């Protein structure tokens, strides 16, 4: 059944010309004709400022605290000026809009361009650019935030945010401000440009228009085909305008229009002229348009009736126009907020901002590198410029979109050296792979990210002791027999070490046995992988400490004497 059936309520145009008695009649619920001028869409812009001069427009801004308009930004989208946030030291600038009535709106977006640093001062961590809105109670609520860390941006970023329902009231306001900036020398610079607020009602959106023209074939028995491809999703009804020049001055000289093989209408039953342009405009309902363009293409055909002759030059143009669904382009790069090394000494936890990442890129092992410094050979304080660094094997990578965290786990525990995690984010390190990106393909803010960790051990202050191992082991929830074996091994090692019997080999043997016992327990699931890695790593540190600082030896000669006691000979040892 044709999708036009419900629209026509049973009325059906035949696939042949109508009789003269019907030529001027058109059912009330037919598609009808409508000119383009009757469907003019009003502007959806509610607020706009491109900062064209160095003075703030009082019609847009009600409060300006130390913000300026100048050309210090780089490559302003509406050159030469942009608003500069924090032009004065120690104040924390504010740029606040006038009140705007949004009580009758249901779908509003706020778009702005931003740049960190630009041609001004570097922005330090904590000096964030914050966008807030005022709710109906008069309270300011955070809507968006750009983090104040990283290098100067060379280009302006682009952000579009949807206003929440709480913002749609009669006295809505928004403002830009910078956190921090409280010191007398703090003049970190943010730049804002092209601020715009739009209402996105169902009949509004950017207009899409496409047209095609054919010549010298508008006559029977030709069938004219017009294929439209790469069509965006519609956000309302469409206008289809047909302009035809040919033999169309009689009601029996007409054209049948079909879309993807489905009958649409019979054109120029009235209103056609001979050898001059005849024009008709149809309205295609959004639902029908969506069904036609589900695959992004529509094929229209025009079939001339038998009396349409080849009497002279002909031309036919089809123009399709409709409001498309607004497309919000994500140009904000994902941001690494922090990188921490877990207590197990193996797992790097990378905290991202709330920009969802491409899962394949986020979990691609080629996008991460762990380097071991192998000491500071040249002694210049930078352990990673000696040329003897080695790469540490990575066991697994996991990305959690809910928590915005990436966990990179090394194959072995990292200890007693300096280590560096490199996240390939579009810089030089990404030559080996595509780099970490968000769903829109944006690489990390500021390119590759480096995080250094000093895991060197100071034997005198940092190295764990056998007592530390025993205390940690006693806190584990282990089977009683296993707990006893581990504690017994550590007690023996502790006694040898405390009594200074001069047997570091015996202590090392016992600690090595303790590691074997831990391996056995971990293989059988009695101890977690994290606890196992932590205890093994600490035990190795104790063993390394014994090699560098063995326990002091006491004199080991023995004095023996024989005594008589209770009618038995016995040997007593005395030193």
**pLDDT (tens digit, 9 = 90+) per residue, 482-516?**
999 999 999 988 888 776 545 678 888 899 999 99
- Total number of domains constituting the chain: 4
- For residue 447, which of 87, 148, 150 has the smallest C-alpha distance? 150
Are 430 and 498 within one domain?
no
- Looking at residue 323, its pLDDT comes to 83
- Domain hosting 290: range is 5-13+29-36+205-324
Q: Are residues 418 and 355 in the same domain?
A: yes
CA 514 to chain CA mean position, Å: 46
Least confident among 85-99, 334-348, 378-392:
85-99
Mean pLDDT of the chain: 81
Residue 5 has pLDDT above 70, yes or no: no
The pLDDT value given to residue 468: 85
**DSSP states of 395-460:** EEEEEETTTTEEEEEESS---SSEEEEEE-SSSGGGGGS---BBTT--B-TTSSEEEEEE----TT
pLDDT digits (tens, 9 = 90+) for 118-164: 888 878 888 888 999 999 999 999 998 888 876 678 778 777 788 99
8 Å CB contact between 188 and 34: no
Collect contacts of 482-488 with beta carbons under 8 A, ≥24 apart: 482/517, 482/521, 482/526, 485/517, 486/514, 486/517, 486/518, 486/521
Instruction: Say whether pLDDT at 430 is over 70.
Output: no
Domain match, 239 and 365 both? no
Shared domain check, 408 and 497 = no
What per-residue confidence (pLDDT) applies to 548? 60
The enclosing domain of 424 has a CATH number of 2.60.40.1220
Tell me whether residue 95 is exposed, middle or buried, using C-beta atoms within 10 angstroms of its C-beta: 0 to 12, 13 to 18, 19 or more: buried
Is residue 559 in some structural domain? no
- The helix/strand count (H/E) of the chain reads as 7, 29
Q: Do 166 and 68 share a structural domain? A: yes
Q: Label residues 509-537 b or e (16+ Cβ within 10 Å = b).
A: ebbebbbebbeebbeeebbeeebbbbbbb
Confidence of residue 529 (pLDDT cuts 50, 70, 90): confident
Residue 244 domain-assigned (yes or no): yes
Tell me which of 51-55, 259-263, 469-473 is least confident: 469-473
Same domain, 269 and 230: yes
Q: For the segment 431-481, what is each residue's pLDDT rounded down to a tens digit?
A: 566 899 998 889 998 889 999 999 886 555 566 788 888 888 888 888 999
Residue 97 has pLDDT above 80, yes or no: yes
pLDDT above 60: residue 12? no
Q: Does residue 247 sit within a domain?
A: yes
Any idea what the CATH number is for the domain that residue 245 is in? 2.60.120.1200
**Residue 273 resides in a domain:** yes
User: What is the structure's pLDDT at 331?
Assistant: 80
For residue 47, name the pLDDT band (cuts at 50, 70, 90): very high
Close Cβ partners of 271 (under 8 Å, ≥ 6 residues apart): 278, 280
218 and 142 together in one domain: no
Assess if residue 572 is contained within a domain.
no
State the pLDDT at residue 550.
Answer: 55
CA gyration radius, the chain: 39
Together in a domain, 411 and 473? no
Q: Is residue 527 part of a domain?
A: yes
Same domain? For 179 and 226 the reply is: no
Global pTM value = 0.37
* Same domain assignment for residues 49 and 193: yes
Write the CA distances from 145 to 36, 93, 332, 352, integer angstroms. Answer: 42, 15, 11, 14
Does residue 437 share a domain with residue 479?
A: no
């Amino acid at each position: 059944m044709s999708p036009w059936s419900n629209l026509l309520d049973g009325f059906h145009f035949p696939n042949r010309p109508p009789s003269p008695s019907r030529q001027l009649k058109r059912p009330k619920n037919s598609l009808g004709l409508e000119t383009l001028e009757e469907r003019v869409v009003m502007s959806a812009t509610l607020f706009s400022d491109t900062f064209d001069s160095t003075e703030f427009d009082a019609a847009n801004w009600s409060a300006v605290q130390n913000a300026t308009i100048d050309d210090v930004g780089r490559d302003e989208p509406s050159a030469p000026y942009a608003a500069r946030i924090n032009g004065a030291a120690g104040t924390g600038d504010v740029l606040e809009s006038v009140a705007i009535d949004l009580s009758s709106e249901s779908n509003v977006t706020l778009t702005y361009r931003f740049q960190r640093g630009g041609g001004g001062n570097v922005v330090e961590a904590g000096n964030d650019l914050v966008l807030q809105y005022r709710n109906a109670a008069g309270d300011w609520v955070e809507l968006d935030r750009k983090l104040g860390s990283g290098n100067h941006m060379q280009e302006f970023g682009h952000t579009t945010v949807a206003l929440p329902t709480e913002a749609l009231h009669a006295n809505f306001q928004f403002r830009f401000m910078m956190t921090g900036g409280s010191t007398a020398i703090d003049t970190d610079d943010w730049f804002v440009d092209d601020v715009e607020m739009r209402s996105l009602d169902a009949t509004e959106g950017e207009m899409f228009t496409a047209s095609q023209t054919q010549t010298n074939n508008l006559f029977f028995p030709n069938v004219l085909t017009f294929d439209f491809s790469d069509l965006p999703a519609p956000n309302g009804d469409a206008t289809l305008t047909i302009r035809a020049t040919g033999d169309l001055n009689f009601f029996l000289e007409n054209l049948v229009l079909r879309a993807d093989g489905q009958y649409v209408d019979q054109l120029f039953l009235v209103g056609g002229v001979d050898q001059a342009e005849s024009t008709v405009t149809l309205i295609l309902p959004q639902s029908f348009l969506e069904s036609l363009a589900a695959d992004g293409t529509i094929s229209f055909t025009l079939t001339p009736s038998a009396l349409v002759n080849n009497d002279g030059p002909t031309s036919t143009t089809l123009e399709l126009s409709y409001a498309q669904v607004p497309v919000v382009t994500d140009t904000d790069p994902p941001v690494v907020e922090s990188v921490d090394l877990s207590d197990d000494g193996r797992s790097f936890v990378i905290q991202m901002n709330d920009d969802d990442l491409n899962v394949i890129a986020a979990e691609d092992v080629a996008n991460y590198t762990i380097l071991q410094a192998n000491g500071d050979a040249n002694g210049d304080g930078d352990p990673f410029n000696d040329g003897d660094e080695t790469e540490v094997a990575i066991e697994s990578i996991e990305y959690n979109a809910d928590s915005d965290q990436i966990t990179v786990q090394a194959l072995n525990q990292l200890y007693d050296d300096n280590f560096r995690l490199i996240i390939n984010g579009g810089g030089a390190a990404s030559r080996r792979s595509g780099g970490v990106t968000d769903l829109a393909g944006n690489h990390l803010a500021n390119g590759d990210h480096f995080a250094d960790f000093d895991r060197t051990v100071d034997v005198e202050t940092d190295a764990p002791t056998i007592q530390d191992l025993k205390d940690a082991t006693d806190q584990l929830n282990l089977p009683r027999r296993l707990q006893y074996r581990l504690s017994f091994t550590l007690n023996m090692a502790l006694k040898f070490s405390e009594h200074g019997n001069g047997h570091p080999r015996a202590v090392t043997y016992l600690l090595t046995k303790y590691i074997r016992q831990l391996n056995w327990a971990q293989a059988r699931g009695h101890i977690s992988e994290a606890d196992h890695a932590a205890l093994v790593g600490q035990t190795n540190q104790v063993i390394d400490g014994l090699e560098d600082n063995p326990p002091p030896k006491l004199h080991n000669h023995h004095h023996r004497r024989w005594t008589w006691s209770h009618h038995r000979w016995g040997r007593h040892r005395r030193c």
